[in-house]
Amino acid sequence: MTLRDFDWVLVAFVLIICTLGVIEIRSATLHTKFAGVHVKQIYWIMGGLGCMLLVSVINYQTLLEKVHWMYIAAVTSLMSVLVFGQKYLGARRWVKLPGGNHFQPSEWVKLILILAVAKYFADLQHRELSWSDFIKAGAIVGVPMLMVLAQPDLGTALTYLPIAIVGLFLGGISWKQALAIILLAGLAMPLAWHHLKDYQKQRLVSFMSPDNDPRGAGYHVRQSEIAVGSGGIWGSSSGSQTHLAFLPEPHTDFIFAAFSEEHGFVGALGVLLLYFIVLMRLTQNAQTAPDRAGTFIVMGVVAVLTFHILVNIGMVVGFMPVTGIPLPLMSYGGSSVLFMFLALGMVMNVRMRRFVN
């Protein structure tokens, strides 16, 4: 196991995306009060690289053996947020900080969840899932998900779903079972709607018809579309939406909109291509994984990544409601960057041991 086993190709593409992100953050914050944060992002990325190295060093098999403890720690940390976190939030009413100024537990819980799901499905003896397996798997993901939901943080809670989905799918779920879930979800929709907070409802409503209320909740959606659309094929010369502060959160949630405005269809498609290459590369690492668990781990990362990209860029082009989910590797924010590199570290971990038996 040498340094050659490291997936340098993957690292290279990831760093290209990160660099584009930093450049865009700088451009988007140039004359604002956030000027200079791109430097922080560089530090996060470097820190992330270090973390990635660290994580890849410990054999993931060892980690998997300890996953029960990690899971308990994860749930405890989410509990502590529910108990202590409220008090901090009570007295302050600031605009939400991009990505969180500190590492939110819900982020690293995601990592542990990937491991936990991988271990669970790896240990299963059947090719197909029994109903009890199915429910147990649901609980493993469901419990932390509900705790995050209670924070309340709907967006992050939803990012736990892809881990469950990919686990179930690769774990051998049958069509019947899949259908059952879809039906259940459909029935639960009205109940879920009732429990949504007002602003979340607003977001969904304005997503459906943004022109209904272009000055209110539909504002973000519309502004994003305008920014992206005005980019044209080669990019807008003035980049006015980003630079005149009409595009909200240009360095965090809407960074892709800022990028698309400045670099047009060509640039945006290029970035999409880069992400696609990264995902394909990751999948390849899944296929060459030495064991079942390894595959699950890598695919868990792929699922989360894909979900983020789908939801964020989908939001930017107006296909998805506004959710506050960052674009991995490009959006400004320590939590997001660190999570990505830790996840990549897990992937490296698996890959580096692909010849080991």
Partner 1 sequence: MFSHDEKPSHIRLTAFQYVILAIFLFLAYGLWRLQVSQNDYYSAAAERNRVREVPILAPRGKILDRYGRTIVDNYPSFTALLMRDSSRNLNADADVIAAGLHMDPREVREKIRHFESLPQYQPIYLKEDITPDEEAFVEAHKSELPELDTIMAYRRLYPRKGFLAHLIGYVGEVSEDMLNQPQFELYNPGDVVGKSGVELQYNQLLMGTNGSRQVVVNSHGKEVGEALDEKPAVPGKPLKLTIDVDLQIAAEEAMEGKNGAIVAMDPHTGEILAMASRPTFDPNDFSVRIGRSDWAKLVNDPDKPLLNKAIQAQLAPGSTFKIIMSVAGWQEGIAQNMHVICNGSANFYGRNSKCWVYFEHRTHGDVDLTKAIYQSCDVFFYTLADRLGIGRIAKYATAFGLGQKTGIDLPEEASGVMPSEEWKLRNFRQRWFPGETISVGIGQGAIAVTPVQLIRAISAISMGGRMVVPHVVNPTNLPSGFVEVGRYTQVKEIPVDPNGWNTITDAMDRVLTPEGTAFSAHIPGVDIAGKTGSAQVVSLALRAKHENDENFAQNGWFVGFTPKRNPDIVVCTLFQGGEHGKLAARIATQVIKAYVDKQQRQPTSVARATTGNGQVEIGALWTASDEEGAADKLGGGRIRVDLSKKPPVLATAAPGLGGVN
10 binding partner 1? (CB under 8 A): no
255/311 Cα distance (integer angstroms): 13
176 binding partner 1? (CB under 8 A): no
Q: Say how many C-beta atoms besides its own lie within 10 A of residue 318's C-beta.
A: 15
Q: Which residues contact 177 (CB under 8 A, 6 or more apart)?
A: 129, 131, 134, 168
129/117 Cα distance (integer angstroms): 14
H or E segment to which residue 302 belongs: helix 292-316
Asked whether the beta carbons of 231 and 258 are under 8 A apart, the reply is: no
> Quick one: which of 96, 150, 214, 355 contacts partner 1 (CB under 8 A)?
214
Q: Residue 41 is encoded by which pair of tokens? A: 């992002």
> Quick one: which of 1, 39, 146, 280 contacts partner 1 (CB under 8 A)?
280
Choose the stretch contacting partner 1; rule: CB under 8 A; options: 20-28, 176-184, 185-193, 258-266. 258-266
230 binding partner 1? (CB under 8 A): yes
269 binding partner 1? (CB under 8 A): yes
Q: Say how many C-beta atoms besides its own lie within 10 A of residue 210's C-beta.
A: 21
The dihedrals phi and psi of 289, each to the nearest 5 degrees, come to -65, 145
> Quick one: which of 47, 75, 314, 354 contacts partner 1 (CB under 8 A)?
314
The residue among 275 and 339 lying less far from partner 1, judged by its C-beta, is 275
Cα-based angle 56, 61, 65 (whole degrees, multiple of 5): 125
168/176 Cα distance (integer angstroms): 13
253 binding partner 1? (CB under 8 A): no
Q: 3-state DSSP call for residue 124?
A: coil
The residue among 2 and 237 lying less far from partner 1, judged by its C-beta, is 237
> In whole angstroms, how close is the CB of 50 to partner 1 at the nearest point?
29
238 binding partner 1? (CB under 8 A): yes
> Quick one: which of 100, 229, 248, 354 contacts partner 1 (CB under 8 A)?
229
12/60 Cα distance (integer angstroms): 23
Q: 3-state DSSP call for residue 291?
A: coil
49/43 Cα distance (integer angstroms): 10
> Quick one: which of 119, 243, 308, 353 contacts partner 1 (CB under 8 A)?
243
257/248 Cα distance (integer angstroms): 10
Residues touching partner 1, count (CB under 8 A): 63
63 binding partner 1? (CB under 8 A): no
Q: In the window 133-172, what residues touch partner 1 (CB under 8 A)? A: 166, 169-172
> Quick one: which of 104, 156, 236, 331 contacts partner 1 (CB under 8 A)?
236
> In whole angstroms, how close is the CB of 229 to partner 1 at the nearest point?
2
> In whole angstroms, how close is the CB of 43 to partner 1 at the nearest point?
25
Q: Residue 32 is encoded by which pair of tokens? A: 């604002």
Q: In the window 118-137, what residues touch partner 1 (CB under 8 A)? A: 122-123, 125-127
> Quick one: which of 113, 291, 334, 350 contacts partner 1 (CB under 8 A)?
291
The residue among 86 and 238 lying less far from partner 1, judged by its C-beta, is 238
213 binding partner 1? (CB under 8 A): no
Q: Residue 120 is encoded by which pair of tokens? A: 């669970």
227 binding partner 1? (CB under 8 A): yes
29 binding partner 1? (CB under 8 A): no
| Burial call 40-67: b when 16+ CB within 10 Å, e when fewer | bbbebbeebbebbeebbeeebeebbeeb
Which residues of the shown chain bind partner 1 in the complex (CB under 8 A)?
A: 31, 91-93, 122-123, 125-127, 166, 169-172, 214-215, 219, 225-233, 236, 238, 240-241, 243-246, 260, 264-265, 268-269, 272, 275-276, 279-280, 283, 286-287, 289-292, 295-296, 299, 302, 306, 309-310, 313-314, 317-319
